[in-house]
Amino acid sequence: MGNKKESGSTSRRQKSRDRAFLLFTAPGFLLYLFFFITPVLMGIYYSLTDWDGISKKYNIIGLGNYVKIFRTSQFMDSLIFTLKYTILLVVFTIVLGIIIAMLLNRKIKGKGFFRAIYFIPAVLSSMTIGLIFNKLCYYIIPIIGKALNIAALSQNPLADKKLAMWTILFVNLWQGLCIPTLLFLAGLQSVPTDLYEGAVLDGATSWDVFRYITLPFLLPVVSVVFVLTLKSGLMVFDYIMAMTGGGPGSATRSVAMLIYKHGFTQNKYAFSIAEAIVMGIIVAAISAAQIYFTDKKKAV
Amino acid sequence: MEELTAAFCEENPGVKIEVVSSDDARTVLQTRAASNKMPDILNSYPAEDFYKNMFREGYFEEITDQDYLSKVNSTALGMTDCDGGYYAVPMSLSTYGIYANMDVLNANGIESTPATWDELIEDCEILKANGVTGFLLPNKDIGNVAQRFERTAGIINNDSDSEFQKIADGEMEAKDSPTLQTWCDYNEQLLNYTVEDHMGMDYDIAAAEFSNGNAGFMLSGTWMLATVRQNNPDANVELFAFPHPRGEATKVPVNVDTAFSISSTCADKEIGLKFLEFMTRQDIAQRYCDVDGNVSTIEGVEYNIPEHAAMKTAVDEGNIFLTAVNFWPNGLREEIRDCCQTFLGDLDRDTFFESAQEAIETIYADNQ
């Protein structure tokens, strides 16, 4: 009898707790449903139509837009460019971010000054930076290139099919490195100094210290920076829009630029939504792989 | 524009107009239409298919029965006709041609602007021999490349749409298109007289260089005069018709550049209509024209811009045609511009024709 009473009371407590959890979760869930899930479902619906963005009437055309995506090489070319750009952006951001953070973490004179100077680009908009570098690339780079007798830099590098991507990448890194560096700097400061002292006493080399002490402490930050940079690389738009407009030809046209072109300049809205959904699936697959490997690492 | 809206507000106490301008008006308009937040009064391009579709979809108020439309030049008004109705008051026509920096030409012994293609090339040769840049071609600017292609393809063949339709229908190949071939020919010629880093040059850089007397010629439309004056108030420039590169008779491409409309969601349609009437008054249209630089379409307005005298003559004589963008299927200009820019960089005709073929086929198929 007593047990029954106890179990009834536990069940009531459980139900009340569940209700509280539900009430706390509901606002977040409803916001997510309204602002994320609904647009995605609407996007999937519109991708199955021939809507031009203006007409109030449209027809359901099934998977026609998805078939059309691969009618020309445009989407694949843009996808290859975007993936190449993203890989380079991720690698350079992590490698340079760690190097700069380590330099800024040293006991040097004017450390505060260097740190402040280094973070100035972060407060400027990427569009503004793109436009500034646009002018530098036309007026300044060729002068330097000619003075140093470097043929590749004796003209605007943004006009060269091979150099344009590297120039955009450089500008993106110039601004985009600030936040990852800040995160790495915070990560470095969490490393206990006695570990370094012990390692030095044991005769560890600088590389050993980095590999076996610094890097393991930085790995969680690396994971965060990886995800943030991956996202910004796959969705790159503003730097390209400001600096090359996707050119020369289509040499720097990212998938986001292609989606913009088809949607806003050609009124192929439903088609551009289909392209966005295909891109979304690719991003989801990459993210899933990243989560899988991160989890595996944690388990080890 | 702000001065004119202020004058209107003064005349109509209680009315407040906020003027918003955008570099990418079409994108802004599309997003505002999608979110049902159309501006009350707006500048439209009523000759273009994109805007005509918006008229048909009911985003704009029909103004066919408004008396002030009788003040508009009938040719210009005819360009804005949409299924027998009107939805915009055309205020000005932009014309496209070649700007000549007369100070540069005169300093090199050239007294007047060239009338034929051969004369243009001769002038460029003289400038080149004197170490002066003949032509500025801002080929990094993909929007400018697209516009140059569209305007000059139209000059080469006023009915380029029919020719491209043949390519789309498989009756002709892009490599056999006289319009595309001539476009390649003339660009190949002009590239001999431009700056070394033409592929790295933007429109605004080119406009500044031209205004400051660093080149003889530059392709553009009447809208560029304001930029030239801003860069160099003393610049001595003239706009003349782009001579047909094959020596045939040439016509000037025009477009309805400013046309005021009111949206169907305008908060006070009566005030909106009153504003359109206000803009068509001769004194107001004159003030607008003096700053705008384009040829006014309002009867009685004097065109006091000596730099554009040749364009005014072309309009008065009817030696004009409505530019190709109004006839081409939606998106062709944006699709073909990539291969145009690539060609200007590498002069590889085979690749150009192959890419142009694909662009034309894709866009005509999409717009069927």
- Smallest CA–CA distance, residue B247 to chain A, in Å, is 30
The Cα-based distances of A117 to A111, A125, A175 in angstroms read: 10, 16, 12
At B41 the pLDDT is 95
Which of A267, A268, A272 has the highest number of chain B CBs within 10 A, making it the mutation to test binding with B? A267
**B142 near A CB under 8 A:** yes
What is the per-residue pLDDT across B134-154, written as a single tens digit (0 to 9) for each?
999 999 999 999 999 999 999
Average pLDDT of the segment spanning B98-124: 97
**Model pLDDT, residue B173:** 97
Q: In Å, how far is B320's CA from the nearest CA of chain A?
A: 27
Rounded CA separation B281/B71 (Å) = 8
Contact (CB<8Å) A249/B358: no
> What's the rounded Cα separation, in Å, for the pair A185 and A192?
14
**What count of CB pairs under 8 Å joins A to B?**
91
pLDDT tens per residue across span A53-107? 888 889 999 999 999 999 889 999 999 999 999 999 999 999 999 999 998 888 7
Long-range Cβ contacts of B79-84 (<8 Å, 24+ apart): B79/B46, B79/B47, B79/B256, B79/B322, B79/B326, B80/B46, B80/B47, B80/B256, B80/B259, B82/B46, B82/B52, B82/B55, B82/B56, B83/B56
Residue to mutate among B54, B202, B351, with most A CBs inside 10 A, is B202
Quick one: pLDDT at residue B2?
A: 85
Computed over every residue of chain B, the mean pLDDT equals 94
Out of B27, B338, B362, name the one closest to residue A250 (CB).
B338
Residue A2 predicted with pLDDT over 70: no
| pLDDT tier for residue A297 given thresholds of 50, 70 and 90 | low
- Please state the rounded mean pLDDT for residues B4-24: 89
- B205 in contact with A at a CB cutoff of 8 Å? yes
Q: Express each pLDDT in A136-168 by its tens digit.
A: 999 999 999 999 999 889 999 999 999 999 999
Cross-chain Cβ contact B57/A54 below 8 Å:
yes
Tens-place pLDDT, residues A222-238? 988 998 999 899 999 99
Residues of B with Cβ-Cβ distance to A134 under 8 angstroms: 202
Task: Give residue B365's identity as a one-letter amino acid code.
Answer: A
Q: Between chains, do A138 and B199 touch, taking CB under 8 Å as contact?
A: no
Cβ-nearest to B34 among A53, A155, A244? A53
Chosen from B145, B341, B358 to mutate, greatest number of chain A CBs within 10 A = B341
Q: Is the pLDDT score of B97 beyond 90? A: yes
Residue A300 has pLDDT above 60, yes or no: no
Say if the Cβ atoms of B57 and A142 lie within 8 Å. no
Using the predicted structure, report yes or no on whether residue B232 has a pLDDT greater than 70. yes
Closest residue by Cα to residue B280 from B37, B64, B69: B69
Range ranked top by mean pLDDT from A96-110, A277-291, B196-210, B307-321 = B196-210
What local confidence, expressed as pLDDT, does residue B335 receive?
Answer: 95
- Please spell the DSSP secondary structure of B233-275, one letter per residue: TT--EEEE----TTS----EEEEEEEEEEEBTT-S-HHHHHHH
User: pLDDT grade, residue A7 (50/70/90)?
Assistant: low
Which of 1.10.3720.10, 3.40.640.10, 3.30.70.1230, 3.50.50.60 is the CATH number of A72-299? 1.10.3720.10
Task: Flag if B57 and A267 touch (Cβ within 8 Å).
Answer: no
For B195, phi then psi, to 5°, come to: -75, 160
Of A126-130, A173-177, B244-248, the one with minimum mean pLDDT is: A126-130
**A261 to chain B: which residues are within 8 Å by CB?**
334
Residue A1 pLDDT > 60? no
CA separation, residue A113 to residues A108, A109, A110, A120, A257 (Å): 11, 9, 5, 11, 38
A103-143: pLDDT as tens digits: 888 877 777 787 778 788 888 888 889 889 999 999 999 99
Reported ipTM? 0.87
The percent of residues above 90 in pLDDT, for chain B, comes to: 83
* H or E element that contains B90: strand B89-101
- Range B245-268 average pLDDT: 94
> What are the structural domains of chain B?
2-92+256-304 (3.40.190.10), 95-252+326-366 (3.40.190.10)
Confidence of residue A263 (pLDDT cuts 50, 70, 90): very high
**What is the predicted pLDDT for the residue at A6?**
64
Cβ-defined contact of B362 to A268 (cutoff 8 Å): no
H-run or E-run covering B104: helix B102-107
pLDDT(B98) > 60: yes
Hey, which residues does B217 pair with through a beta bridge? Answer: B100, B135
Facing B200 at nearest CB: one of A52, A159, A250: A159
Of A55, A245, A266, the CB nearest to B57: A55
By the 8 A CB rule, do A217 and A189 touch?
Answer: no
pLDDT at A5 over 70: no
Tell me: pLDDT of B15 over 70: yes
Whether chain B has a CB inside 8 Å of the CB on A161: the answer is: yes
Q: Which residue among A245, A249, A266 places its CB closest to the CB of B339?
A: A249
In A, residues 209-268, which contact B (CB 8 Å cutoff)?
244-250, 253, 261, 264-268
pLDDT, position B87: 96
CA pair distance B188, B167, nearest whole angstrom? 23
* Band (B290; pLDDT cuts 50, 70, 90): confident
Cis peptide before A248 (omega within 30 of 0): yes
- Residue A4 has what pLDDT? 60
Determine the average pLDDT of the residues in B65-78: 92
Whether residue B196 lies within 8 A of chain A, CB to CB, comes out as yes
